[in-house]
Amino acid sequence: MFQHVEAYPGDPILSLNEAFGKDPRPNKINLSIGIYFDDAGKIPMLPSVRAAELKVVAEAGARPYLPMEGAVNFRTAVQHLLFGAEHAAVKAGRIVTLQTVGSSGGLKVGGDFIHRYFPGSVMLVSDPTWDNHRAVFEGSGITVKTYPYYDAATGGLRFDAMLEALKAAEKKSVVLLHACCHNPTGVDLTQAQWQALVPVLKERELIAFLDLAYQGYGDGIEEDAYAVRLLADEGLSFFVANSFSKSMSLYGERCGALSVVCPDAAQAVNVLGQMKATIRRNYSNPPLHGGQLVARVLTDPELRPMWEAEVVAMRDRIQLMRRQLHDVLSAKLPGRDFSYFLTQRGMFSYTGLTAEQCDRLKDEFGVYLVRSGRMCVAGLNTGNVEATAKAIAAVLS
Ligand code: PMP
């Protein structure tokens, strides 16, 4: 019956994470999966989210289905978080925001919608990008190509090459852009570079699809929404998928959203309608619980500032780990430049380590990195940063 079903090779990151779980070595270090761990190596339960949960549970009654587009309090709170409550596009009713099953769900719903309504459009993703981008959009039937992004020579951005490629793109191509904290490289556009991108998006009639999975981990919750607000200010119509997996440490609750900025409120009504149809065909409606925690944290006058302070603490801890790793490595291998650990932002750094060096790190030292050389810096802590630096120094010398 199922002889024709091929074996699934597994997702490289999730498989590595499973291998880590089975590794019996007590001093193993997990820098593979994109999860924020605290200094004790644990996934935090944020006090603001915990307090929100107690309130939500105390008030909980029957568990009806949510509407296809999700809970209205969640959708409104998320829209205000992304664009600002007073933004003209918000006031004009030009933005559609849907609660989705994680931001992965938002990417998928957006992908299905694009395939249906822009059938000739190719999707351009950064080289490299999060592996699942290609999988999700190809799964929606979209042809996925790349634009230049990471500069292996400098550990920075190939911005000129990126712009040239976008200038040469077919009109109405969809361009997937990481709004902050690029996964896997940690290399972001500056505000000036975002501004320089806008005329190209306009001239080529490119459709931006922003992915904002790490809001707050770059410069701040507001600052990391810079690209979202710039494109909205510039009158562009675009998509943005955002996530609360990392910013509220709600991974398994699958809290995300998809927003579409439309030219006017009438078009927004139809886009919302067709998005609902897309969701109905996929999973019918999103889950209730996690979204209510998010909505409560975002709108409760006591919990909101608590959460904002917790995000600052997570971001500062990662930056401290970047600094310590940089300092130990620079001391051990004085001839080499590790400044990329300081300039790259968010949870990830591209270390430039080869697949073989990553294998050695895993096999000889129990230090797990994705074979592309991507390190989840948020897996470092005061107890393992020194050992990690020593192991990296060993495979590099
Ligand atoms: N986009 C990017 C760039 C990511 O790194 C991730 C998570 N690894 C996601 C989207 C999906 O996040 P979630 O579905 O948990 O919201």
Q: Is residue 198 assigned to a domain? A: yes
**Cα distance from N-terminal residue to C-terminal residue, the chain:** 53
**Model pTM score:** 0.96
Q: Are residues 79 and 22 in the same domain?
A: no
Catalytic residue at 130?
A: yes
State residue 13's pLDDT score: 87
Q: Are residues 295 and 311 in the same domain?
A: no
Q: Are residues 41 and 73 in the same domain?
A: no
Rounded to 5 degrees, φ, ψ at 307 are -65, -45
How confident is residue 12, by pLDDT bands cut at 50, 70 and 90? confident
| Angle between helices 72-83 and 289-299 in degrees, nearest 10 | 50
Closest residue by Cα to atom 6, ligand 1, is 213
Domain count, the chain: 2
Distance of CA 152 to the CA centre of its chain: 21
State residue 164's pLDDT score: 98
Residue indicated by tokens 């591209």: 350
Atom of ligand 1 nearest to the CA of 178: 3
State residue 108's pLDDT score: 98
- pLDDT, the chain, mean: 96
State residue 10's pLDDT score: 85
Domain boundary among 266, 299, 332: 299
- Write out the two tokens for 268: 């927004």
Residue 9 reports pLDDT greater than 90:
no
Around ligand 1, the residues with Cβ closer than 6 Å are: 34, 102-104, 130, 178, 183, 211, 213, 243, 245, 256
How confident is residue 276, by pLDDT bands cut at 50, 70 and 90? very high
Euclidean distance between CA atoms 280 and 66, whole angstroms = 12
Q: Is residue 57 assigned to a domain? A: no
Q: Are residues 251 and 338 in the same domain?
A: no
Q: Are residues 88 and 178 in the same domain?
A: yes
CATH of the domain at 344: 3.90.1150.10
Q: What is the pLDDT of residues 277-316, one digit of tens each?
A: 999 999 999 999 999 999 999 999 999 999 999 999 999 9
Catalytic residue at 246?
A: yes
Euclidean distance between CA atoms 60 and 384, whole angstroms = 41
ipTM, two decimals, is 0.99
Q: What is the pLDDT of residues 320-374, one digit of tens each?
A: 999 999 999 999 999 899 999 999 999 999 999 999 999 999 999 999 999 999 9
Residue 11 reports pLDDT greater than 90:
no
Catalytic residue at 224?
A: no
Distance of CA 262 to the CA centre of its chain: 23
State residue 60's pLDDT score: 86
Residue 14 reports pLDDT greater than 90:
no
> What is the extent of the structural domain holding 278?
65-299
Instruction: Please state, in angstroms and as integers, the Cα–Cα distance from residue 136 to each residue in 140, 213, 284, following that order.
Output: 6, 15, 18
- Write out the two tokens for 381: 């802590």
| Catalytic member of 246, 276, 307, 362 | 246
Q: Are residues 276 and 322 in the same domain?
A: no
State residue 270's pLDDT score: 98
| Catalytic member of 108, 112, 188, 211 | 211
Among 302, 311, 314, which residue's Cα sits nearest to residue 38? 314
Q: Are residues 326 and 295 in the same domain?
A: no
